[in-house]
Amino acid sequence: MSNPVPLRIAVLVNTPPNNEFWNDVNEAYRAAFQAVAPDAQIDMYDPVFQGNFPDPQHYDLIVLSGGKADASSSEPWVLGVLDFLRKTARESPNTKILGICWGHQAISRAFGGAVRAVPTGPIRLPEFHVREVAKPGLGFVHLAENHEMFVNQENTVLSFQAHPEVQAALAKKMLLEEDDVYNGNLSQQELEDHLKKLDQPTDGFEVLRRVIEWVEE
């Protein structure tokens, strides 16, 4: 009996490269997917500076990472990601697409939805975002309330706002970052309470195991 072919996974890291945050995101995705699919081939791509996109037909799964950019902006690289999403869904239906956080928002926008600033300020835990999906893309089905998770009717594009790849150490680091993106409106007591919550177990790897099962369906 021949061995099964390892999964081929491409990750679009939607944040400027060559800095500590990019390295953290890169390492988080590699570690998470290696934990749930040890034999998988995992390749990282830079759509921000290099405009670097994978050939969808060479991969089983394309992942859009989170990031701090505005998914509703008209920056050329953001528009390039949206075009890539539409083309991939149209021309490579056998390749699954997964969007996480920023990727969740980008998928909704690419397929006719809308993204807005969170009306009440940043939602910091467990999602780490200051924008949210206001309207899902056309043909997408809700899997959770508050526009937190969708799958398209063809069952080839899945997205969610939460971060299954982020473990406690990185989550704490993100929450404590000096740029105040995720902690700017928190009191000291609220910050301490949120940090304590991050020590609790999460279902992140279980979610990603189910994602791998979905890719293999």
Is 165 marked active-site? yes
Quick one: CA dihedral 49, 90, 99, 210, positive or negative?
negative
124 contacts 185 by C-beta, under 8 angstroms: no
Under 8 Å between Cβ of 183 and 173: no
Q: Give dist(CA 194, CA 3) in Å, integer.
A: 45
Out of 101, 104, 127, 132, the active site residue is: 101
- Confirm whether 163 is a catalytic residue: yes
178 is catalytic: no
CA 110/CA 83 separation, integer angstroms: 7
Q: Which of 91, 165, 178, 217 is the catalytic position? A: 165
**CB 55, CB 22: distance < 8 Å:** no
Q: How far apart are CA 116 and CA 196, in angstroms?
A: 29
Burial level of 77, CB count in 10 A (0-12/13-18/19+)?
A: middle
Q: Which DSSP helix (H) or strand (E) runs through 10?
A: strand 8-12
Those residues whose C-beta lies under 8 Å from the C-beta of residue 85, and which sit 6 or more positions away, are 64, 97, 106, 107, 110, 111
Of 40, 53, 47, nearest in space to 78 by CA? 47
Residue of 129, 147, 163, 194 marked active site? 163
Residues acting as catalytic residues: 101, 163, 165
